[in-house]
Copies of this chain bind each other. A is one copy, B any other.
């Protein structure tokens, strides 16, 4: 064990250091990076440069690095799938919802610092900290170690990729709920029926307040509606 690590073990950081080792599988070098990764903006004030010294910059970096590693992992796992499938799988893996769950599995929720009376406003504090942690690993150890962590630890032990593959968001329900809440007029229309009765496809549009927000094609009306709703959900960031 290098001298630096030895020192840290006798400091007040000992517990944090050991928690990190358990999550990461390796000893961090620059521990201050990891401390910052767990600092939510609710617990920091602006520094002299007018910047809040929270984990937000690291979250931005970690988001991009995680995206690249996941893209490459899927590219190599699914040799015979097209880019549409790969993009969709990546979206599922990096979704805020999935990252929040992943963060809790890793125990990140126990390390994040935030002001609890304001917590209700910050639904994605754990997922954000997860991304910031990826940023911290990247800054501390470089791309290769980050990739090893994501592929051989995170994906291997904590992400069920096959389950995600079969998991299909119900976008139609999602947009119907949203429209009710926002008091928008929502309707699906069949724009076209393509092919003959043995091999018919439906082209469906979803309209919000009479403006087309998405279109979908499918062998069933249900499938086409889901596709149209999915496009609208993405545009509306639901």
Question: Does B75 lie within 8 Å of A60, measured CB to CB?
Answer: yes
Contacts of A72 in B (CB 8 A): 61, 64-65, 138
Tell me, yes or no, whether A80 is within 8 Å of chain B by CB: yes
CB distance from A170 to the nearest CB of B (A): 22
Q: Is the CB of A71 within 8 A of B61?
A: yes
**Among A13-21, A82-90, A220-228, the stretch in contact with B:** A82-90
Interface size class of A (residues with CB under 8 A): 35 or more
User: Restricting to A66-84, which residues have a CB under 8 Å from any CB of B?
Assistant: 67-68, 70-72, 75, 80-83
A80 touches B144 (CB 8 A): no
- Is A59 among interface residues, defined by CB-CB distance under 8 A? yes
> Smallest CB–CB gap between A44 and chain B, Å?
12
User: In residues 38-73 of chain A, which contact B (Cβ within 8 Å)?
Assistant: 49-52, 56-57, 59-61, 63-65, 67-68, 70-72
* Cβ contact of A209, chosen from B71, B143, B211, cutoff 8 A: B211
Taken together as a complex, chains A and B put the C-alpha atoms of A52 and B82 apart, in Å, by 8
Take A211-B208, A236-B235 as given contacts and tell me if A80 and B51 are in contact as well, using a CB distance cutoff of 8 Å. Answer: yes
A residues near B (Cβ < 8 Å) are: 49-52, 56-57, 59-61, 63-65, 67-68, 70-72, 75, 80-83, 86-87, 90, 138, 143-144, 147, 184, 208-211, 235-237
Known: A64-B72, A209-B210, A235-B235. 5 other contacts (CB 8 A): A51-B82, A57-B75, A61-B75, A64-B71, A65-B68
Could you list some 8 contacts between A and B, CB below 8 A?
A51-B81, A57-B82, A60-B86, A64-B68, A64-B70, A64-B71, A65-B68, A208-B211
